[in-house]
Amino acid sequence: MSEVLIVGSVAYDGLKTPYGSVPKILGGAATYSSLAASLFAPVKMVGVVGDDFKEAEFKMLRRHGINTELVTREKGKTFFWTGYYETDMSVAHTVSLELGVFETFNPLILGRSRKVPFVFLAAIHPDLQMNVLKQMDKPKFVVLDTRDLWINITKPSLLKVLKKTDLAVVNDQEIRLLTGEMHLMKGARALQKMGPKIVIVKKGEHGAMMFGPGWTFLSPAVPLDYVVDPTGAGDTFAGAFIGYLAKYKKVNEKLLKQAVIAGNLVASFTVQGFGTKTIEALNKAKLRKRAAAYHKFASIPKVKI
């Protein structure tokens, strides 16, 4: 088993969905992805919080085997996002965004942490992503996430980081913005030429499509009777994905496919509760049960033609 290093936002979220609302709840890309990765491998989390960040959150993270030594506490407020979802929960509407201490976030990777082989760069400013990569000592596998904002305002920086990543996780809108291709498959192949040998396109309720060198793979999303709060689904997916690879210390076509399924499975729990509640309560027994149901749902029999 290898370790995973995860860099990203640690935040509080204020949320409203058709199923209810919460005024302030633990969130952030690094939080969701670290919790998800911790189901499979030990995690080193890199981030920054303000002096309003509760000690209980740290304790919860550590209880999940997440090393929080590289999460620094600064004077000021923790990143705070408020937003809501309407009936179509695939779109998050931002009401307010206070960067707080995140505005001057300067990730510092110290000592042994520089040797962690699996690295997930959650969607932060690409200069910060590059900053982290430069501190790492020849990582084995680097996964990058981004968002439309960074593509729109910092594309040259992002293109530089992409050159140094092994895998990029994007959605259909981001892939269009990045490559100018309207057609998803052409876009994915164009993105593969920009650095990452492997591209994963997250398609929300339609699952995730992965493009490798010479092969393509689709893992449908887990069918769900209800979704309570989609926040963190993508980060959970990416965290479980890289955690799964770290568990097996290898990267090959078969493990990559399994890791995508693991990502879909774990993300299916995240969206069934507010914030990180369901993923905090997740264990291997629950995950195995859902995995078994998923295999019945998505296994493709051979057609006889």
CB of 8 to a copy of itself, least distance (A): 24
Task: Report how far residue 188's alpha carbon sits from residue 200's, in angstroms, rounded to the nearest whole number.
Answer: 8
Residue range at the interface with a copy of itself (CB under 8 A); choices 28-36, 64-72, 114-122, 295-303: 295-303
Instruction: Tell the smallest beta-carbon distance from residue 90 to a copy of itself (Å).
Output: 13
Nearer to a copy of itself, 114 or 290 (CB): 290
Does 35 contact a copy of itself by CB under 8 A? no
Name every residue whose Cβ is closer than 8 Å to that of residue 203 and which is 6 or more positions away in sequence: 171, 172, 209, 221
Nearer to a copy of itself, 203 or 249 (CB): 203
What is the pattern of x (binds a copy of itself, CB under 8 A) and - over residues 219-248?
Answer: xx--xxxx-----------------x----
Of 63, 115, 250, 284, the one binding a copy of itself (CB under 8 A) is 284
Using CB under 8 A as the binding rule, whether residue 177 contacts a copy of itself is answered as no
Q: Would you count residue 303 as binding a copy of itself (CB under 8 A)?
A: yes
Binders in 180-219 for a copy of itself, by CB under 8 A: 182-183, 185-186, 203, 206-207, 209, 215-219
Site for a copy of itself in 79-138 (CB under 8 A): 87
Query: How near is the Cβ of 263 to a copy of itself at its closest, in Å?
Result: 10
Is 279 within 8 Å of 64 (Cβ atoms)? no
Say which residue the tokens 């369901």 belong to.
278
Interface residues with a copy of itself (CB under 8 A)?
A: 87, 182-183, 185-186, 203, 206-207, 209, 215-220, 223-226, 244, 254, 257-258, 261-262, 265, 284, 287-288, 291, 294-305
